[in-house]
Structure 1
């Protein structure tokens, strides 16, 4: 018995306090230690490992008068065995009550939306407050976590409806934005199409005008050449000019949808006689009385696209 009371073995993660006649003298670290029999005894066996303390659930009224159920967990570690043993009675109960009171204080100063959305802020404020309060007890508060927040059932239903309405609103806005972008894209496409079509029409009109201008220039040059030839007395020039107009008129007459019958010379070589007659008419311009043009050879009537008729 003497040997058993004198030799003490302290396990790892624990520290023992030594008392002499009821007064604290020293702290035993993990390992084997010999005490003075009958004079020194082990006072408190302190757990030096990190411990998890469960804070019971409680109802807290928020700033906007909503009652919520809140519970938490606290991670603590004893750093000074003597202070934890002799400066506070029932260390775990003291920390639990301290956490509950500070939890009511912090949550009660916030509105429900803030409580639900700012858990990290609540944890930080609780950690700072409780760690400062437990410092003299030789305890280090490592972390505090809000484990559960339970609003009333009617508040939960209202929040669910609000969330649903908010999501529907966002969906409508997103759909409207998409429709808006689509209409803008279609309008831009129509605008670009109209611009390209207008540019195409302008280019075509420019090309048509240029072609007509060149055609007019060519016609003017041809007319000028014919006029010069006539002025010089060249009958072939006037014959060519009249024959060209004759062929063009005959082609237009043949293409007319209302024309049923076209009168043409029996021998198309009669066109030469007509041209020659016109030449004789030009030669007689200086005479007092014009001579009649020789009549063309007999003609026949031929329906367009049909057989030749008398």
Structure 2
């Protein structure tokens, strides 16, 4: 019997020890109740309770938690039905308030988010709901954080996960987006054509300027050539006139033959003239011009050749000069 009693005492001591000494893990806090009344909160670490008087009440998670807000249908201000869901990030700041001020804290926060989501989205038009998610998130965060503050809970973030408008509105939005893109494409194409037309006009302008400059330069050079030709003609005429004044028959014949040939050349170049009759005198004129050209060439060759030295006279014999023949 003594061994049984000792064993019972040992078991009772272990049970009492484990009921008195409590180890709280990191990220958790335990509330302590004395005869059913909250007295204190145990922090992470080893804690000792009063045996048979105090006990652990609630085990609270002090880490940040993520709650999923179920999808629901909400009517917007312009009577459009949209499906919306969200997620909320919360963190318990006071374990006692979260444990004893609200029953089923996750469910309460979820319902609070759903009701405020309907209120916020219902006060906005469909376009605002679709394009102003940040505004919805901010408004929800402000409202829900203020509502959960008495519960000892801090709402860190609220994010809209999905917004699904009706199928007909989605199709209308797709057509609107397509029309908008086609409009941008037409505007871009028109702008490109405008720039191309401007570039072509600028190119035509530059081409006309360059052509005008070219015609101006060509006219200037033609005028200069005609001026030089006139000067040469004047000099040639003056030389021929001087030769005629000296009574040079060849110069007169050359001058007349040249004018005759020029006139005949103009007659031959006439586009309406199909048959050209060469007069009999033409061969004689050509021969005269050729002969004058040969004479001029020979004269030039003689002028260009050096004059040979005169040989010395032979010595006279007996002092007498032979008579000339």
Does structure 1 conserve the Cα–Cα contact (< 8 Å) formed by 2:257 and 2:285?
no
Does structure 2 conserve the Cα–Cα contact (< 8 Å) formed by 1:62 and 1:108?
yes
- TM-score scaled by length of structure 2: 0.74
Q: What pairs up with 1:183-222 in 2 under 5 angstroms?
A: 183-222=197-236
Match of 1:106 among 111, 115, 120: 120
Does structure 1 conserve the Cα–Cα contact (< 8 Å) formed by 2:254 and 2:288?
no
Does structure 1 conserve the Cα–Cα contact (< 8 Å) formed by 2:21 and 2:48?
yes
Instruction: Provide the rounded CA distance (Å) in 2 between the counterparts of 1:121 and 1:22.
Output: 45
Asked if 1:54 corresponds to 2:68, the answer is yes
Bigger CA drift: 214-223 or 120-129? 214-223
Does structure 2 conserve the Cα–Cα contact (< 8 Å) formed by 1:102 and 1:129?
yes
Match of 2:275 among 252, 259, 262: 259
Asked if 1:73 corresponds to 2:87, the answer is yes
Instruction: Provide the rounded CA distance (Å) in 1 between the counterparts of 2:156 and 2:223.
Output: 91
Larger % of strand: which?
1
Match of 2:288 among 257, 271, 282: 271
**Where does structure 2 lack aligned partners over 5 or more consecutive residues?**
1-14, 293-325
Asked if 1:16 corresponds to 2:30, the answer is yes
Look up the SS of the partner of 1:38 in the other structure.
coil
How has the CA–CA distance of structure 1 residues 225 and 154 changed in structure 2, closer, same or farther, with 3 Å as cutoff?
Answer: same
Instruction: Provide the rounded CA distance (Å) in 2 between the counterparts of 1:110 and 1:160.
Output: 21
> How far is 1:234 from its partner?
5.9
2:44 — aligned with what?
30
Aligned residue pairs total: 274
> How far is 1:235 from its partner?
5.7
Instruction: Provide the rounded CA distance (Å) in 2 between the counterparts of 1:180 and 1:268.
Output: 70
- TM-score scaled by length of structure 1: 0.77
Does structure 2 conserve the Cα–Cα contact (< 8 Å) formed by 1:254 and 1:262?
no
Give the greater-gyration-radius structure (CA): 2
1:96 — aligned with what?
110
> How far is 1:221 from its partner?
3.7
Look up the SS of the partner of 2:279 in the other structure.
strand
How has the CA–CA distance of structure 1 residues 216 and 20 changed in structure 2, closer, same or farther, with 3 Å as cutoff?
Answer: same
> How far is 1:81 from its partner?
1.2
> How far is 1:204 from its partner?
1.6
Does structure 2 conserve the Cα–Cα contact (< 8 Å) formed by 1:253 and 1:262?
no
Instruction: Provide the rounded CA distance (Å) in 2 between the counterparts of 1:250 and 1:228.
Output: 26
How has the CA–CA distance of structure 1 residues 71 and 258 changed in structure 2, closer, same or farther, with 3 Å as cutoff?
Answer: same
Does structure 2 conserve the Cα–Cα contact (< 8 Å) formed by 1:77 and 1:140?
yes
